[in-house]
Amino acid sequence: MADHSQEDLLEQVNKLLQYHETLGIKEYPRSRSLERFLKPELDSVPSDSVITSKGTKEKPLPKKHSFDPKLTGKATLNDVREEIDDCHRCSLHETRTNIVFGQGPATAKLMVVADTPGKEDDETSLPIQGAAGELLDRMLQAINLSRDEVYITTLVKCFPGTDAKPEEKEIRTCLPFLFRQIEIICPKVVCTMGTLSSQILLHSSKSLFQLRGRFYNFNDYCTDPLADKIFLMTSLHPTVLLQNKELKKASWQDLQLIQKKLEGK
């Protein structure tokens, strides 16, 4: 007989299959990227401690985000970039070529946050480049936006290596800089494109399929008051869409919701 955890899992899988059917998804081509996407990245977020891959214990991220008071004096995005400098605060500097800080105007109404820089991002110092970047440009154009109008950045600012993900300590090191970017820009919508960035900003261990499709009030996840209300939407990274075209319909639904929110509808 299945225990309660197995029953809950089966129920979640059944709901997910029913939801996919409403999206018109009838089959699931197997790929390494899809397997990684479907697997929760941070099963241990709500626990009392986190065991890293190196076997060391880290305290969990707090239940609510607290911004670093030492960065409040950094009034512009350039100030924050200068504070990062040639960062050696964590081991990710060993795998990067360039820091990928972010790209876009400080007045952007939409902010896109991916999980990590890719190899092409690392080479150019710009986020979401290559084929994924071309698809992102088309996605933005579909909701009447250009890349020049959107601020794009990543959860961590250094390339962790191919098929690698950052450790808890490395995320903690970069998070204050991302929060300061959010504070300075104060966009109307933050769209996290990836499981890791979505789970971290929402303090959740749920899969991206469970999180996406709705808005969250980001202010509810922060201890410090923000200048204005910021909505957070979780969605899929263009790389995942390139490798799993059957997921594009779900991504388009997310984009339409974002467009309506930005247009005040």
**3 state SS of 50:** strand
Domain coordinates in residue numbering, the chain: 29-262
Just give the CATH number of 29-262.
3.40.470.10
HSE at residue 197, side-chain half, CA atoms within 13 A, is: 28
Q: Calculate mean pLDDT across residues 103-112.
A: 98
208 and 37 Cβ atoms separated by less than 8 Å: yes
Q: What pLDDT does 37 receive? A: 57
Q: Flag whether pLDDT at 10 surpasses 80.
A: no
Range in 22-31, 180-189, 198-207, 253-262 the model is least confident about:
22-31
Cα(130)–Cα(109) distance, integer angstroms:
24
Q: Flag whether pLDDT at 45 surpasses 60.
A: no
129 vs 207, residue with greater confidence: 129
Range in 46-60, 161-175, 211-225, 234-248 the model is least confident about:
46-60
Q: What pLDDT does 44 receive? A: 38
Q: What percent of the chain has pLDDT over 70?
A: 76
Q: Flag whether pLDDT at 54 surpasses 50.
A: no
Q: Flag whether pLDDT at 146 surpasses 50.
A: yes
CA distances from 156 to 53, 146, 240 (A): 18, 24, 19
Q: Flag whether pLDDT at 7 surpasses 80.
A: no
151 and 184 Cβ atoms separated by less than 8 Å: no
Confidence of residue 43 (pLDDT cuts 50, 70, 90): very low
Cα(91)–Cα(191) distance, integer angstroms:
27
131 vs 10, residue with greater confidence: 131
Q: What pLDDT does 69 receive? A: 84
Token readout for 128 is: 């979401």
